[in-house]
């Protein structure tokens, strides 16, 4: 294993002499093996090592035991040790993420900040050949193209002068999984500069079985995380159920096949990125004020471009404007560019229009001021029929045991909302403070984040106590009116 990792690092130039490398060590077998093999190789590579451990705090005393284990491992090998902490559950709730995604996001935020502050040249993570196979299979199941099938990149570069502090340093999920998708950091997949922090994966050439065999040969213990067996996590189902089934029934060499597919896809993606970037720069029409004038893309000769380049060009055009498009939206945008549609409505209240030889990407026009509005009084408990929507809104008082079993932030406090509420539609300028969010926001922005279609927003139902919005369909209840167990709970239903 030592020789194989050494060759992999040399062949891909993951490190260079003089590098300061922070090794992300959770305490599990993969990360412990990564630390041990780099300790063996550090003299030959000419690198300086440190250990970085992020305590997610999800497993109580077990999480603290993991931290103590990693700290002792660092002390035993006389390596500098750094530890970070984060409230993963709160981060997940606030940002509408799974616990797994929230933990990954906070961990990378902290690692990037640590590397920037301590001037590390690289962050080494312990992704293995098995992780690569699982990632490619997951991406395929979710309908990914070449970018997703490229899987986990052996090296990514993050510019030091990118914002690397706190929640503002959020890497997009694709970047955390290893793919170079849009992120607040500038991510490079080829080449390096001295003004960068690299994420490197030296174990992508090593299987999980090889990792454990290596550790056993060293009599090196590791920590087992029981959550890795929890079938509620999609990756665990792929790891323990789907991959073994496919290997047993279809191809015993499937992991190698998936890794080869990732290698081919990465090469293809690097080619496409360069080609699309050049085509985009050639076609972009500068605007005097991007905040006022829509982005414009020249369509001169667009219809003659290969279909694959048309799709990638439009997807990149939208991404640079902050829009992540699925295949259906890309096709709608392409039909608009070809003149088959006069306009295309896109996520987040955006719209594309063909005007002459240009494709303009702007915002949807304001909703007609004469759109019918509605307003009713809802007794608590009680119900009211909303004729404009063809639905009934009910306020139900529920028993304490049922209330405690309800999913988070879905219940109102009866004592705080009083005997009746006002039901009305959204109006421009409305602000709302959902539970577990940091501050009030304009509902227009919350609707955009939730991908509520612009044509539906004007009729969107909400409840008010006096003049304050306490409930909006599809969102957690208001922060200041959330039921916390001290009085009777009220549930809102729409039928």
User: For every one of its 495 residues, what pLDDT tens digit does the chain have, with 9 covering 90 and above?
Assistant: 999 999 999 999 999 999 999 999 999 999 999 999 999 999 999 999 999 999 998 888 999 999 999 999 999 999 999 999 988 888 877 776 777 788 889 999 999 999 999 999 999 999 999 999 999 999 998 888 888 899 999 998 865 433 333 333 333 333 344 433 323 233 333 344 445 689 999 999 999 999 999 999 999 999 998 878 888 778 889 999 999 999 999 999 999 999 999 999 999 999 999 999 999 999 987 654 444 446 789 999 999 999 999 999 999 999 888 888 888 899 999 999 999 988 888 887 788 999 889 999 877 543 344 455 788 889 988 998 888 888 899 998 887 777 776 655 678 888 888 888 999 998 877 889 988 888 888 898 898 888 888 778 888 999 998 888 999 998 999 988 888 876 788 889 888
Q: How much is the pLDDT for 333?
A: 94
Angle CA(228)–CA(229)–CA(235) in degrees, nearest 5?
A: 65
Buried b (16+ CB within 10 A) or exposed e, 384-393: bebeebeeeb
Which residue is associated with the tokens 């929640």?
167
Q: Answer yes or no: CATH 3.40.50.620 is held by domain 2-256.
A: yes
Number of Cβ within 10 Å of residue 271's Cβ equals 11
In this prediction the pTM is: 0.65
112-115, Cβ contacts within 8 angstroms, sequence gap of 24 or more: 112/158, 112/164, 112/169, 112/171, 112/185, 112/197, 113/164, 113/165, 113/166, 113/169, 114/22, 114/52, 114/82, 114/84, 115/22, 115/164, 115/197
Q: How much is the pLDDT for 158?
A: 67
- Chain region(s) in the chain for CATH 3.40.50.620: 2-256
Q: How much is the pLDDT for 257?
A: 95
Q: What is the rounded CA–CA span in Å between residue 377 and residue 417?
A: 13
The CATH class of the 286-363 domain is mainly alpha
Q: What is the rounded CA–CA span in Å between residue 29 and residue 220?
A: 9
Q: How much is the pLDDT for 153?
A: 94
Q: What is the rounded CA–CA span in Å between residue 396 and residue 406?
A: 13
Q: What is the rounded CA–CA span in Å between residue 134 and residue 344?
A: 36
Nearest to 156 by CA among 133, 134, 124, 126: 124
- Chain region(s) in the chain for CATH 1.20.59.20: 286-363
Q: How much is the pLDDT for 457?
A: 84
- 333-338-342-343 Cα dihedral, nearest 10 degrees: 10
- 260-263-269-274 Cα dihedral, nearest 10 degrees: -150
Q: How much is the pLDDT for 173?
A: 33
Which residue is associated with the tokens 């050949």?
129
* Kind of pairing between the strands at 20-24 and 48-55: parallel
Q: What is the rounded CA–CA span in Å between residue 332 and residue 323?
A: 14
């Amino acid at each position: 294993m030592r020789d194989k990792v050494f060759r992999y690092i040399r062949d891909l130039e993951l490190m260079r002499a003089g590098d300061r490398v922070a090794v992300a060590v959770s305490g599990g077998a993969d990360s412990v093996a990564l630390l041990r093999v780099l300790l063996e190789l550090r003299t030959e590579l000419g690198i300086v090592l440190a250990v970085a451990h992020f305590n997610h705090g999800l497993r109580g005393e077990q999480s603290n035991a993991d931290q103590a284990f990693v700290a002792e491992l660092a002390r035993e090998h006389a390596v500098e040790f750094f530890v970070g902490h984060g409230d993963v559950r709160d981060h997940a709730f606030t940002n509408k993420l799974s616990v797994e995604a929230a933990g990954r996001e906070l961990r990378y935020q902290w690692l990037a900040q640590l590397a920037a502050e301590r001037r590390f040249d690289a962050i080494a993570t312990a992704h293995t050949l098995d992780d690569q196979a699982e990632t490619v299979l997951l991406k395929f199941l979710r309908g990914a193209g070449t970018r997703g099938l490229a899987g986990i990149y052996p090296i990514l570069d993050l510019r030091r002068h990118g914002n690397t502090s706190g929640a503002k340093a959020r890497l997009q999920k694709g970047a955390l999984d290893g793919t170079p998708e849009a992120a607040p950091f500038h991510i490079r997949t080829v080449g390096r500069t001295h003004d960068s922090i690299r994420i490197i994966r030296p174990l992508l050439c090593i299987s999980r079985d090889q990792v454990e065999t290596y550790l056993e040969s060293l009599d090196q213990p590791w920590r087992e995380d029981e959550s890795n067996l929890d079938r509620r996590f999609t990756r665990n189902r792929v790891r323990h159920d789907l991959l073994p089934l496919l290997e047993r029934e279809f191809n015993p060499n499937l992991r190698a096949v998936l890794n080869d597919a990732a290698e081919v896809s990465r090469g293809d993606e690097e080619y496409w990125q360069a080609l699309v970037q050049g085509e985009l720069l050639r076609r972009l029409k500068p605007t005097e004020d991007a905040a006022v004038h829509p982005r414009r893309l020249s369509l001169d000769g667009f219809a003659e471009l290969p279909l694959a380049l048309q799709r990638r060009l439009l997807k990149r055009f939208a991404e640079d404007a902050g829009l992540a498009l699925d295949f259906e939206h890309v096709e709608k945008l392409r039909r608009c560019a070809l003149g088959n549609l006069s306009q295309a409505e896109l996520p987040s209240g955006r719209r594309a229009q063909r005007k002459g030889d240009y494709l303009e990407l702007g915002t949807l026009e304001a909703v007609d001021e004469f759109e019918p509005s509605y307003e009713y009084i809802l007794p608590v408990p009680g119900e009211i029929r909303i004729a404009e929507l063809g639905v009934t809104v009910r306020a139900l008082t529920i028993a304490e045991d049922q209330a405690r079993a309800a999913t988070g932030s879905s219940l109102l406090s009866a004592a705080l909302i009083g005997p009746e509420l006002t039901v009305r539609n959204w109006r421009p300028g409305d602000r709302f403070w959902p539970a577990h969010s940091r501050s009030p926001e304009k509902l227009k922005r919350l609707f955009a984040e939730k991908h509520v279609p612009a044509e539906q927003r004007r009729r969107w139902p909400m409840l008010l106590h006096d003049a304050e919005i306490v409930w909006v369909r599809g969102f957690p209840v208001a922060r200041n009116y959330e039921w916390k167990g001290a009085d009777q709970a009220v549930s809102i239903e729409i039928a």
